Structure 1
Amino acid sequence: MALFSPSFRLVFLWVALLLCGARSFADDLQAESLLKQGRVDEAAAMLNQILSAQPHDARAHQLLCRVYYSQDMADSAVRQCEQATSDDPSNSDHQMWLGRAYGLKASQANMLTAFAVAKKVHVAFEQAVQLNPANVQAMSDLGQFYVSAPGIVGGGVDKAQALVPKIMPRSPQKAHRLLAMIAKKKNDLSTAEAEYKFAIAIGKTPEAWVDLGLFYREQSQPEKAVAALESSVQANSARDAALVDAASILTDLHRRPEFTEKLLREYLASPSKTDAAPAFKVHLQLGDLLKQHGDTAGARREYAAAVALASNFGPARKAVQGA
Protein backbone atom coordinates (compact mmCIF):
# COMPACT_ATOMS: atom_id res chain seq x y z
CA MET A 1 0.00 0.00 0.00
CA ALA A 2 1.35 3.43 -0.95
CA LEU A 3 2.15 5.75 1.94
CA PHE A 4 0.52 8.74 0.21
CA SER A 5 -2.20 8.72 -2.42
CA PRO A 6 -1.51 10.55 -5.70
CA SER A 7 -4.01 13.28 -4.81
CA PHE A 8 -2.36 13.81 -1.40
CA ARG A 9 1.06 14.04 -3.06
CA LEU A 10 -0.29 16.74 -5.41
CA VAL A 11 -1.66 18.72 -2.47
CA PHE A 12 1.66 18.34 -0.62
CA LEU A 13 3.56 19.57 -3.69
CA TRP A 14 1.21 22.55 -4.06
CA VAL A 15 1.66 23.54 -0.41
CA ALA A 16 5.44 23.23 -0.74
CA LEU A 17 5.41 25.50 -3.80
CA LEU A 18 3.28 28.04 -1.95
CA LEU A 19 5.66 28.03 1.00
CA CYS A 20 8.62 28.43 -1.32
CA GLY A 21 6.94 31.42 -2.97
CA ALA A 22 6.13 32.95 0.41
CA ARG A 23 9.75 32.61 1.52
CA SER A 24 10.92 34.22 -1.71
CA PHE A 25 8.52 37.13 -1.23
CA ALA A 26 9.63 37.61 2.36
CA ASP A 27 13.29 37.53 1.32
CA ASP A 28 12.61 40.13 -1.39
CA LEU A 29 10.93 42.36 1.17
CA GLN A 30 13.89 42.05 3.52
CA ALA A 31 16.31 42.84 0.71
CA GLU A 32 14.24 45.87 -0.27
CA SER A 33 14.32 47.06 3.34
CA LEU A 34 18.12 46.78 3.36
CA LEU A 35 18.28 48.70 0.07
CA LYS A 36 16.11 51.52 1.42
CA GLN A 37 18.32 51.77 4.50
CA GLY A 38 21.35 52.18 2.23
CA ARG A 39 22.84 48.86 3.31
CA VAL A 40 23.59 47.88 -0.26
CA ASP A 41 26.36 45.38 0.46
CA GLU A 42 23.97 43.35 2.59
CA ALA A 43 21.14 43.78 0.09
CA ALA A 44 23.33 42.59 -2.79
CA ALA A 45 24.49 39.53 -0.82
CA MET A 46 20.91 38.56 0.01
CA LEU A 47 19.63 39.11 -3.53
CA ASN A 48 22.47 37.10 -5.08
CA GLN A 49 21.64 34.29 -2.68
CA ILE A 50 17.97 34.44 -3.70
CA LEU A 51 18.88 34.42 -7.38
CA SER A 52 21.25 31.49 -7.00
CA ALA A 53 18.24 29.45 -5.88
CA GLN A 54 15.65 31.14 -8.12
CA PRO A 55 17.42 32.68 -11.11
CA HIS A 56 14.17 33.91 -12.68
CA ASP A 57 12.91 35.87 -9.68
CA ALA A 58 12.12 39.08 -11.58
CA ARG A 59 11.51 41.11 -8.43
CA ALA A 60 14.94 40.14 -7.07
CA HIS A 61 16.55 41.18 -10.36
CA GLN A 62 14.77 44.55 -10.19
CA LEU A 63 15.97 45.09 -6.62
CA LEU A 64 19.52 44.17 -7.57
CA CYS A 65 19.24 46.61 -10.47
CA ARG A 66 18.35 49.29 -7.93
CA VAL A 67 21.28 48.28 -5.72
CA TYR A 68 23.64 48.93 -8.62
CA TYR A 69 21.71 52.02 -9.76
CA SER A 70 22.08 53.60 -6.33
CA GLN A 71 25.85 53.17 -6.64
CA ASP A 72 25.91 54.65 -10.18
CA MET A 73 26.99 51.28 -11.63
CA ALA A 74 25.13 51.67 -14.90
CA ASP A 75 26.14 48.53 -16.80
CA SER A 76 25.36 46.20 -13.90
CA ALA A 77 22.06 47.98 -13.27
CA VAL A 78 21.06 47.62 -16.91
CA ARG A 79 21.87 43.89 -16.95
CA GLN A 80 19.73 43.22 -13.90
CA CYS A 81 16.80 45.31 -15.06
CA GLU A 82 16.93 43.74 -18.51
CA GLN A 83 16.73 40.34 -16.83
CA ALA A 84 13.79 41.51 -14.70
CA THR A 85 11.86 42.62 -17.79
CA SER A 86 12.75 39.38 -19.57
CA ASP A 87 11.47 37.27 -16.68
CA ASP A 88 8.32 39.37 -16.19
CA PRO A 89 7.70 41.40 -19.36
CA SER A 90 4.25 42.62 -18.32
CA ASN A 91 5.45 44.43 -15.18
CA SER A 92 5.32 48.21 -15.50
CA ASP A 93 7.69 48.90 -12.60
CA HIS A 94 10.39 46.67 -14.09
CA GLN A 95 10.17 48.63 -17.35
CA MET A 96 10.29 51.93 -15.47
CA TRP A 97 13.46 50.93 -13.63
CA LEU A 98 14.97 49.68 -16.88
CA GLY A 99 14.35 53.14 -18.35
CA ARG A 100 16.06 54.72 -15.36
CA ALA A 101 19.02 52.35 -15.66
CA TYR A 102 19.36 53.20 -19.36
CA GLY A 103 19.18 56.88 -18.40
CA LEU A 104 22.06 56.43 -15.97
CA LYS A 105 24.06 54.64 -18.66
CA ALA A 106 23.37 57.42 -21.16
CA SER A 107 24.53 60.05 -18.66
CA GLN A 108 27.88 58.28 -18.31
CA ALA A 109 28.46 57.53 -22.00
CA ASN A 110 30.10 59.46 -24.83
CA MET A 111 27.77 61.37 -27.13
CA LEU A 112 27.46 58.67 -29.79
CA THR A 113 26.64 55.93 -27.29
CA ALA A 114 24.38 58.24 -25.29
CA PHE A 115 22.14 58.84 -28.31
CA ALA A 116 21.71 55.10 -28.89
CA VAL A 117 20.97 54.42 -25.22
CA ALA A 118 18.59 57.39 -24.96
CA LYS A 119 16.35 55.72 -27.54
CA LYS A 120 16.15 52.74 -25.20
CA VAL A 121 15.18 55.06 -22.34
CA HIS A 122 12.31 56.32 -24.47
CA VAL A 123 11.10 52.83 -25.35
CA ALA A 124 11.31 51.56 -21.77
CA PHE A 125 9.38 54.48 -20.25
CA GLU A 126 6.70 54.33 -22.94
CA GLN A 127 6.38 50.59 -22.40
CA ALA A 128 6.02 51.13 -18.65
CA VAL A 129 3.13 53.53 -19.23
CA GLN A 130 1.47 51.25 -21.78
CA LEU A 131 1.63 48.32 -19.38
CA ASN A 132 0.07 50.34 -16.57
CA PRO A 133 -1.55 53.66 -17.49
CA ALA A 134 -2.09 54.28 -13.76
CA ASN A 135 1.65 54.21 -13.02
CA VAL A 136 2.00 57.90 -12.22
CA GLN A 137 5.73 57.73 -11.53
CA ALA A 138 6.37 56.11 -14.91
CA MET A 139 4.29 58.82 -16.62
CA SER A 140 6.22 61.49 -14.73
CA ASP A 141 9.53 59.94 -15.80
CA LEU A 142 8.32 59.76 -19.40
CA GLY A 143 7.19 63.40 -19.30
CA GLN A 144 10.54 64.50 -17.95
CA PHE A 145 12.24 62.54 -20.74
CA TYR A 146 10.06 64.21 -23.37
CA VAL A 147 10.98 67.66 -22.04
CA SER A 148 14.71 67.10 -21.70
CA ALA A 149 15.54 64.83 -24.67
CA PRO A 150 16.00 66.03 -28.25
CA GLY A 151 13.47 64.99 -30.85
CA ILE A 152 15.95 62.70 -32.61
CA VAL A 153 15.75 60.25 -29.69
CA GLY A 154 12.01 60.65 -29.05
CA GLY A 155 11.79 63.83 -27.00
CA GLY A 156 9.54 66.83 -27.58
CA VAL A 157 7.51 69.27 -25.51
CA ASP A 158 4.43 68.51 -27.64
CA LYS A 159 4.59 64.91 -26.45
CA ALA A 160 5.02 66.08 -22.87
CA GLN A 161 2.00 68.38 -23.24
CA ALA A 162 -0.11 65.48 -24.54
CA LEU A 163 0.80 63.49 -21.43
CA VAL A 164 -0.53 66.14 -19.00
CA PRO A 165 -4.26 65.21 -19.31
CA LYS A 166 -3.37 61.61 -18.51
CA ILE A 167 -1.45 62.55 -15.38
CA MET A 168 -3.80 65.27 -14.11
CA PRO A 169 -6.66 63.03 -12.85
CA ARG A 170 -4.22 60.78 -10.97
CA SER A 171 -1.70 63.30 -9.67
CA PRO A 172 -2.49 66.99 -10.22
CA GLN A 173 0.76 67.92 -8.46
CA LYS A 174 2.89 65.95 -10.90
CA ALA A 175 0.84 67.27 -13.82
CA HIS A 176 1.51 70.89 -12.80
CA ARG A 177 5.16 70.02 -12.22
CA LEU A 178 5.36 68.76 -15.81
CA LEU A 179 3.60 71.90 -17.05
CA ALA A 180 6.23 73.95 -15.21
CA MET A 181 9.01 72.00 -16.88
CA ILE A 182 7.39 72.50 -20.28
CA ALA A 183 7.09 76.25 -19.69
CA LYS A 184 10.68 76.46 -18.52
CA LYS A 185 11.82 74.60 -21.63
CA LYS A 186 9.99 77.25 -23.69
CA ASN A 187 11.72 79.95 -21.60
CA ASP A 188 8.32 81.08 -20.28
CA LEU A 189 9.65 81.57 -16.77
CA SER A 190 6.63 83.36 -15.31
CA THR A 191 4.36 80.47 -16.31
CA ALA A 192 6.89 77.97 -14.99
CA GLU A 193 6.96 79.71 -11.62
CA ALA A 194 3.16 79.82 -11.52
CA GLU A 195 2.89 76.11 -12.31
CA TYR A 196 5.36 75.19 -9.58
CA LYS A 197 3.24 77.26 -7.18
CA PHE A 198 0.08 75.49 -8.40
CA ALA A 199 1.77 72.18 -7.57
CA ILE A 200 2.50 73.47 -4.07
CA ALA A 201 -1.06 74.72 -3.55
CA ILE A 202 -2.48 71.29 -4.34
CA GLY A 203 -0.71 69.37 -1.59
CA LYS A 204 1.97 71.53 -0.02
CA THR A 205 4.32 68.55 -0.21
CA PRO A 206 8.03 68.82 0.57
CA GLU A 207 8.86 67.71 -2.97
CA ALA A 208 6.82 70.51 -4.54
CA TRP A 209 8.58 73.11 -2.41
CA VAL A 210 11.96 71.62 -3.39
CA ASP A 211 11.01 71.94 -7.08
CA LEU A 212 10.28 75.63 -6.57
CA GLY A 213 13.52 76.09 -4.62
CA LEU A 214 15.49 74.45 -7.42
CA PHE A 215 13.76 76.70 -9.96
CA TYR A 216 14.75 79.81 -7.99
CA ARG A 217 18.32 78.57 -7.67
CA GLU A 218 18.52 78.09 -11.43
CA GLN A 219 17.15 81.62 -11.90
CA SER A 220 19.82 83.07 -9.55
CA GLN A 221 17.30 84.05 -6.89
CA PRO A 222 18.98 82.60 -3.80
CA GLU A 223 16.81 84.29 -1.16
CA LYS A 224 13.63 82.94 -2.71
CA ALA A 225 15.27 79.54 -3.08
CA VAL A 226 16.21 79.40 0.60
CA ALA A 227 12.70 80.45 1.64
CA ALA A 228 11.15 77.69 -0.50
CA LEU A 229 13.53 75.12 0.92
CA GLU A 230 12.73 76.19 4.47
CA SER A 231 9.05 75.67 3.64
CA SER A 232 9.89 72.21 2.28
CA VAL A 233 11.60 71.27 5.54
CA GLN A 234 8.67 72.56 7.59
CA ALA A 235 6.26 70.46 5.51
CA ASN A 236 8.40 67.32 5.79
CA SER A 237 6.95 65.55 8.81
CA ALA A 238 8.24 62.19 7.57
CA ARG A 239 11.82 63.50 7.35
CA ASP A 240 12.24 61.72 4.03
CA ALA A 241 14.50 62.14 1.00
CA ALA A 242 13.27 65.67 0.33
CA LEU A 243 15.48 66.73 3.26
CA VAL A 244 18.51 65.62 1.26
CA ASP A 245 17.27 67.44 -1.84
CA ALA A 246 16.91 70.63 0.19
CA ALA A 247 20.36 70.14 1.73
CA SER A 248 21.93 69.63 -1.71
CA ILE A 249 20.49 72.87 -3.07
CA LEU A 250 21.56 74.80 0.04
CA THR A 251 25.08 73.41 -0.39
CA ASP A 252 25.13 74.54 -4.02
CA LEU A 253 24.01 77.99 -2.88
CA HIS A 254 26.63 78.09 -0.11
CA ARG A 255 23.90 79.01 2.32
CA ARG A 256 23.15 77.92 5.89
CA PRO A 257 25.77 75.16 6.38
CA GLU A 258 24.75 74.39 9.98
CA PHE A 259 21.12 73.98 8.91
CA THR A 260 22.25 71.81 5.99
CA GLU A 261 24.23 69.56 8.33
CA LYS A 262 21.17 69.25 10.56
CA LEU A 263 19.00 68.16 7.63
CA LEU A 264 21.46 65.45 6.57
CA ARG A 265 21.73 64.11 10.11
CA GLU A 266 17.96 64.10 10.53
CA TYR A 267 17.57 62.08 7.34
CA LEU A 268 20.19 59.55 8.41
CA ALA A 269 18.35 59.10 11.72
CA SER A 270 14.95 58.83 10.04
CA PRO A 271 12.98 55.60 9.49
CA SER A 272 11.83 57.07 6.16
CA LYS A 273 15.11 56.55 4.28
CA THR A 274 14.83 55.21 0.73
CA ASP A 275 17.10 54.46 -2.18
CA ALA A 276 15.94 57.78 -3.66
CA ALA A 277 18.61 59.25 -1.35
CA PRO A 278 20.92 56.34 -0.46
CA ALA A 279 22.25 56.63 3.10
CA PHE A 280 25.84 55.95 2.02
CA LYS A 281 25.71 58.90 -0.38
CA VAL A 282 24.29 61.08 2.37
CA HIS A 283 27.15 60.05 4.68
CA LEU A 284 29.55 61.06 1.91
CA GLN A 285 27.73 64.35 1.38
CA LEU A 286 27.82 65.08 5.10
CA GLY A 287 31.51 64.19 5.23
CA ASP A 288 32.27 66.63 2.42
CA LEU A 289 30.33 69.36 4.21
CA LEU A 290 32.18 68.76 7.47
CA LYS A 291 35.52 68.72 5.67
CA GLN A 292 34.77 72.05 3.99
CA HIS A 293 34.24 73.58 7.43
CA GLY A 294 37.36 72.13 9.01
CA ASP A 295 35.95 69.12 10.86
CA THR A 296 38.30 66.51 9.39
CA ALA A 297 37.68 63.98 12.16
CA GLY A 298 33.93 64.19 11.60
CA ALA A 299 34.45 63.90 7.86
CA ARG A 300 36.49 60.72 8.30
CA ARG A 301 33.74 59.19 10.41
CA GLU A 302 31.15 59.91 7.74
CA TYR A 303 33.35 58.56 4.94
CA ALA A 304 33.95 55.38 6.93
CA ALA A 305 30.20 55.02 7.52
CA ALA A 306 29.61 55.31 3.77
CA VAL A 307 32.14 52.59 2.95
CA ALA A 308 30.70 50.35 5.67
CA LEU A 309 27.36 50.42 3.84
CA ALA A 310 28.66 50.37 0.26
CA SER A 311 32.20 49.03 0.07
CA ASN A 312 32.28 49.16 -3.74
CA PHE A 313 31.08 52.75 -4.07
CA GLY A 314 34.08 54.45 -5.66
CA PRO A 315 33.58 58.03 -4.43
CA ALA A 316 33.32 56.86 -0.81
CA ARG A 317 36.44 54.69 -1.11
CA LYS A 318 38.31 57.60 -2.65
CA ALA A 319 37.14 59.92 0.13
CA VAL A 320 38.39 57.52 2.80
CA GLN A 321 41.79 57.31 1.13
CA GLY A 322 42.04 61.09 0.87
CA ALA A 323 40.72 61.92 4.34
Structure 2
Amino acid sequence: MKNILSFLLLFPLLIWSQSDYGKAEKLFKEGKYEQAQPIFESFLKENPSHLKTLEYLGDIAGHQKSWDKAIVYYKKLKQLKPSEANYYFKYGGVLGMKAKDSNKFKALGMIGEVKESFEKAIELNPKHIEARWALVLIYIQLPGIVGGSETKAIKYSNELLKLSPVDGFLSRGQIEEHFERYPSAETQYKKAIAAGSTKVGGQMLANLYKNKMNQPEKAAKIKI
Protein backbone atom coordinates (compact mmCIF):
# COMPACT_ATOMS: atom_id res chain seq x y z
CA MET A 1 0.00 0.00 0.00
CA LYS A 2 2.85 2.35 0.86
CA ASN A 3 4.44 1.73 -2.55
CA ILE A 4 1.15 2.45 -4.33
CA LEU A 5 0.72 5.73 -2.43
CA SER A 6 4.29 6.74 -3.27
CA PHE A 7 3.65 6.04 -6.95
CA LEU A 8 0.41 8.01 -6.94
CA LEU A 9 2.18 10.98 -5.37
CA LEU A 10 4.96 10.75 -7.92
CA PHE A 11 2.68 10.13 -10.93
CA PRO A 12 1.80 13.80 -11.65
CA LEU A 13 5.51 14.66 -11.61
CA LEU A 14 6.26 11.86 -14.10
CA ILE A 15 3.51 13.07 -16.42
CA TRP A 16 4.80 16.64 -16.22
CA SER A 17 8.37 15.51 -16.90
CA GLN A 18 7.38 13.46 -19.96
CA SER A 19 5.24 16.30 -21.27
CA ASP A 20 8.05 18.79 -20.76
CA TYR A 21 10.56 16.52 -22.49
CA GLY A 22 8.18 16.01 -25.40
CA LYS A 23 7.89 19.79 -25.70
CA ALA A 24 11.68 20.08 -25.83
CA GLU A 25 11.87 17.46 -28.58
CA LYS A 26 9.22 19.30 -30.57
CA LEU A 27 11.11 22.58 -30.19
CA PHE A 28 14.32 20.85 -31.30
CA LYS A 29 12.68 19.43 -34.44
CA GLU A 30 11.35 22.92 -35.23
CA GLY A 31 14.87 24.33 -34.99
CA LYS A 32 14.11 26.31 -31.82
CA TYR A 33 17.31 25.19 -30.15
CA GLU A 34 17.65 27.98 -27.61
CA GLN A 35 14.20 27.19 -26.21
CA ALA A 36 14.80 23.45 -26.11
CA GLN A 37 18.25 23.67 -24.55
CA PRO A 38 17.35 24.60 -20.93
CA ILE A 39 14.69 21.87 -20.78
CA PHE A 40 17.18 19.24 -21.91
CA GLU A 41 19.83 20.60 -19.52
CA SER A 42 17.40 20.39 -16.62
CA PHE A 43 16.49 16.81 -17.53
CA LEU A 44 20.17 15.86 -17.85
CA LYS A 45 20.88 17.00 -14.28
CA GLU A 46 18.50 14.32 -13.04
CA ASN A 47 19.53 11.78 -15.69
CA PRO A 48 23.25 12.37 -16.41
CA SER A 49 23.64 9.24 -18.56
CA HIS A 50 20.56 9.70 -20.76
CA LEU A 51 21.93 9.08 -24.25
CA LYS A 52 19.29 10.90 -26.29
CA THR A 53 19.48 14.02 -24.13
CA LEU A 54 23.27 14.11 -24.42
CA GLU A 55 22.92 13.77 -28.19
CA TYR A 56 20.31 16.54 -28.38
CA LEU A 57 22.55 18.86 -26.37
CA GLY A 58 25.57 17.95 -28.48
CA ASP A 59 23.59 18.70 -31.65
CA ILE A 60 22.42 22.03 -30.22
CA ALA A 61 25.98 22.98 -29.28
CA GLY A 62 27.05 22.07 -32.79
CA HIS A 63 24.35 24.26 -34.34
CA GLN A 64 25.53 27.09 -32.09
CA LYS A 65 29.15 26.46 -33.15
CA SER A 66 30.06 25.83 -29.52
CA TRP A 67 32.55 23.18 -30.55
CA ASP A 68 34.06 22.57 -27.10
CA LYS A 69 30.64 21.94 -25.53
CA ALA A 70 29.63 19.64 -28.37
CA ILE A 71 32.89 17.70 -28.01
CA VAL A 72 32.17 17.10 -24.31
CA TYR A 73 28.68 15.75 -25.01
CA TYR A 74 29.73 13.47 -27.87
CA LYS A 75 32.79 12.24 -25.98
CA LYS A 76 30.54 11.17 -23.10
CA LEU A 77 28.25 9.42 -25.57
CA LYS A 78 31.21 7.45 -26.94
CA GLN A 79 32.14 6.42 -23.43
CA LEU A 80 28.61 5.38 -22.49
CA LYS A 81 27.93 3.48 -25.73
CA PRO A 82 31.17 2.75 -27.61
CA SER A 83 29.35 0.54 -30.13
CA GLU A 84 27.34 3.41 -31.70
CA ALA A 85 28.88 4.57 -35.00
CA ASN A 86 27.05 7.90 -35.15
CA TYR A 87 28.57 9.08 -31.88
CA TYR A 88 32.05 8.71 -33.37
CA PHE A 89 30.91 10.41 -36.57
CA LYS A 90 29.47 13.39 -34.71
CA TYR A 91 32.49 13.60 -32.41
CA GLY A 92 34.82 13.62 -35.43
CA GLY A 93 32.67 16.25 -37.11
CA VAL A 94 32.74 18.80 -34.29
CA LEU A 95 36.41 18.07 -33.61
CA GLY A 96 37.07 18.81 -37.28
CA MET A 97 35.14 22.07 -37.06
CA LYS A 98 37.17 23.09 -34.01
CA ALA A 99 40.36 22.28 -35.91
CA LYS A 100 39.14 24.41 -38.80
CA ASP A 101 38.65 27.38 -36.45
CA SER A 102 42.00 26.84 -34.70
CA ASN A 103 45.46 27.99 -35.71
CA LYS A 104 47.34 25.71 -38.11
CA PHE A 105 49.65 24.16 -35.52
CA LYS A 106 46.81 23.27 -33.17
CA ALA A 107 44.68 22.00 -36.05
CA LEU A 108 47.41 19.65 -37.26
CA GLY A 109 47.51 18.02 -33.85
CA MET A 110 43.79 17.28 -34.06
CA ILE A 111 43.54 15.88 -37.60
CA GLY A 112 44.65 12.39 -36.61
CA GLU A 113 41.85 12.01 -34.07
CA VAL A 114 39.34 13.41 -36.56
CA LYS A 115 40.29 10.76 -39.12
CA GLU A 116 40.29 8.00 -36.51
CA SER A 117 36.78 8.97 -35.39
CA PHE A 118 35.38 8.70 -38.92
CA GLU A 119 37.26 5.44 -39.51
CA LYS A 120 35.83 4.05 -36.26
CA ALA A 121 32.33 5.01 -37.38
CA ILE A 122 32.88 2.99 -40.58
CA GLU A 123 34.31 0.07 -38.61
CA LEU A 124 31.20 -0.01 -36.42
CA ASN A 125 28.83 0.58 -39.33
CA PRO A 126 30.33 -0.58 -42.66
CA LYS A 127 27.49 1.16 -44.52
CA HIS A 128 28.11 4.58 -42.96
CA ILE A 129 27.91 7.00 -45.90
CA GLU A 130 28.48 10.32 -44.10
CA ALA A 131 31.75 9.18 -42.50
CA ARG A 132 33.12 8.22 -45.91
CA TRP A 133 32.08 11.58 -47.34
CA ALA A 134 33.91 13.30 -44.49
CA LEU A 135 37.08 11.33 -45.20
CA VAL A 136 36.91 12.10 -48.93
CA LEU A 137 36.77 15.82 -48.17
CA ILE A 138 39.53 15.65 -45.55
CA TYR A 139 41.92 13.81 -47.84
CA ILE A 140 41.47 16.19 -50.77
CA GLN A 141 41.59 19.36 -48.69
CA LEU A 142 44.66 18.53 -46.62
CA PRO A 143 48.09 19.17 -48.19
CA GLY A 144 49.98 15.94 -48.84
CA ILE A 145 52.69 16.89 -46.38
CA VAL A 146 50.21 16.74 -43.48
CA GLY A 147 48.24 13.69 -44.52
CA GLY A 148 46.27 14.63 -47.61
CA SER A 149 45.94 11.87 -50.20
CA GLU A 150 44.05 11.72 -53.48
CA THR A 151 44.51 7.95 -53.51
CA LYS A 152 42.74 7.57 -50.15
CA ALA A 153 40.01 9.99 -51.19
CA ILE A 154 39.35 7.88 -54.29
CA LYS A 155 39.32 4.74 -52.14
CA TYR A 156 36.48 6.09 -50.00
CA SER A 157 34.69 7.46 -53.07
CA ASN A 158 34.79 3.98 -54.63
CA GLU A 159 33.34 2.54 -51.43
CA LEU A 160 30.56 5.13 -51.61
CA LEU A 161 29.87 4.11 -55.20
CA LYS A 162 29.17 0.55 -54.05
CA LEU A 163 26.88 1.70 -51.24
CA SER A 164 25.15 4.52 -53.10
CA PRO A 165 25.84 5.31 -56.79
CA VAL A 166 24.69 8.91 -56.33
CA ASP A 167 27.12 9.54 -53.47
CA GLY A 168 29.86 7.74 -55.36
CA PHE A 169 29.48 9.92 -58.45
CA LEU A 170 29.10 13.14 -56.45
CA SER A 171 32.15 12.44 -54.27
CA ARG A 172 34.26 11.53 -57.30
CA GLY A 173 33.07 14.74 -58.95
CA GLN A 174 34.28 16.68 -55.92
CA ILE A 175 37.69 15.02 -56.18
CA GLU A 176 37.99 15.79 -59.89
CA GLU A 177 36.85 19.37 -59.37
CA HIS A 178 39.28 19.94 -56.50
CA PHE A 179 42.20 18.87 -58.69
CA GLU A 180 40.93 21.06 -61.53
CA ARG A 181 40.01 18.21 -63.86
CA TYR A 182 36.82 19.98 -64.77
CA PRO A 183 35.64 17.91 -67.78
CA SER A 184 35.97 14.77 -65.67
CA ALA A 185 34.08 16.43 -62.80
CA GLU A 186 31.35 17.40 -65.27
CA THR A 187 31.03 13.75 -66.32
CA GLN A 188 30.71 12.57 -62.72
CA TYR A 189 28.04 15.15 -61.86
CA LYS A 190 26.07 14.17 -64.96
CA LYS A 191 26.24 10.54 -63.87
CA ALA A 192 24.96 11.54 -60.44
CA ILE A 193 22.03 13.39 -62.02
CA ALA A 194 21.23 10.38 -64.20
CA ALA A 195 21.33 8.19 -61.07
CA GLY A 196 18.69 10.37 -59.41
CA SER A 197 20.50 13.33 -57.79
CA THR A 198 18.60 16.00 -59.68
CA LYS A 199 18.84 18.72 -57.03
CA VAL A 200 22.30 18.25 -55.47
CA GLY A 201 23.96 16.96 -58.63
CA GLY A 202 22.36 19.73 -60.67
CA GLN A 203 23.55 22.37 -58.21
CA MET A 204 27.11 21.02 -58.22
CA LEU A 205 27.15 20.90 -62.01
CA ALA A 206 25.73 24.42 -62.29
CA ASN A 207 28.35 25.73 -59.86
CA LEU A 208 31.07 23.98 -61.83
CA TYR A 209 29.93 25.61 -65.09
CA LYS A 210 29.50 29.03 -63.51
CA ASN A 211 32.47 29.24 -61.16
CA LYS A 212 35.13 27.00 -62.66
CA MET A 213 34.49 26.51 -66.38
CA ASN A 214 33.29 30.03 -67.21
CA GLN A 215 30.17 28.70 -68.93
CA PRO A 216 27.28 30.54 -67.25
CA GLU A 217 24.99 29.80 -70.19
CA LYS A 218 25.21 26.08 -69.43
CA ALA A 219 24.61 26.74 -65.74
CA ALA A 220 21.46 28.68 -66.60
CA LYS A 221 20.02 25.75 -68.56
CA ILE A 222 20.18 23.33 -65.62
CA LYS A 223 16.82 22.82 -63.96
CA ILE A 224 17.24 22.32 -60.21
Identify which of 176, 181, 184 aligns with 2:174: 181
Unaligned runs of 5+ in 1: 5-19, 233-323
The aligned residue for residue 127 of structure 2 is 134
- Letter of the structure 1 residue corresponding to residue 62 of structure 2: Y
Decide whether aligned partners of structure 1 residues 116 and 180 sit closer, same or farther in structure 2, where only a CA change above 3 A counts: same
Separation (CA, whole Å) in 2 of partners of 1:37 and 1:163: 34
Aligned pairs for 1:45-194 within 5 A: 45-194=38-187
- Letter of the structure 1 residue corresponding to residue 34 of structure 2: D
Look up the SS of the partner of 2:195 in the other structure.
helix
Identity %: 27
Separation (CA, whole Å) in 1 of partners of 2:51 and 2:146: 28
- Letter of the structure 1 residue corresponding to residue 206 of structure 2: G
The answer as to whether partners of 1:183 and 1:189 remain within 8 angstroms in 2 is: yes
The answer as to whether partners of 2:166 and 2:197 remain within 8 angstroms in 1 is: no
The answer as to whether partners of 1:98 and 1:124 remain within 8 angstroms in 2 is: yes
Identify which of 7, 28, 35 aligns with 1:35: 28
- Letter of the structure 1 residue corresponding to residue 197 of structure 2: K
**Shift, 1:226, TM fit:** 4.5
**Shift, 1:117, TM fit:** 2.0
**Shift, 1:100, TM fit:** 1.1
How many equivalent pairs are there?
A: 210
**Shift, 1:223, TM fit:** 4.2
Per-residue CA deviations over 1:128-170 (Å, capped at 9, x if unaligned) read 1111011112222222222222345543111111123322232
Separation (CA, whole Å) in 1 of partners of 2:56 and 2:215: 39
Aligned pairs for 1:5-44 within 5 A: 27=21, 31-44=24-37
Separation (CA, whole Å) in 2 of partners of 1:197 and 1:121: 31
The answer as to whether partners of 1:122 and 1:153 remain within 8 angstroms in 2 is: no
The answer as to whether partners of 2:182 and 2:208 remain within 8 angstroms in 1 is: no
Q: CA RMSD in A?
A: 2.6
**Shift, 1:222, TM fit:** 3.9
Relative CO higher for 1 or 2, CA cutoff 8 Å, sep ≥ 6? 1
The answer as to whether partners of 1:134 and 1:170 remain within 8 angstroms in 2 is: yes
Decide whether aligned partners of structure 1 residues 103 and 226 sit closer, same or farther in structure 2, where only a CA change above 3 A counts: farther
Moved over 6 A (4+): none
**Shift, 1:32, TM fit:** 4.9
- Letter of the structure 2 residue corresponding to residue 97 of structure 1: K
Per-residue CA deviations over 1:99-126 (Å, capped at 9, x if unaligned) read 1101210121111111112222211111
Decide whether aligned partners of structure 1 residues 62 and 205 sit closer, same or farther in structure 2, where only a CA change above 3 A counts: farther
Separation (CA, whole Å) in 1 of partners of 2:174 and 2:72: 31
What is the TM-score when the length of structure 2 is the normalising length?
0.82
**Shift, 1:31, TM fit:** 4.4
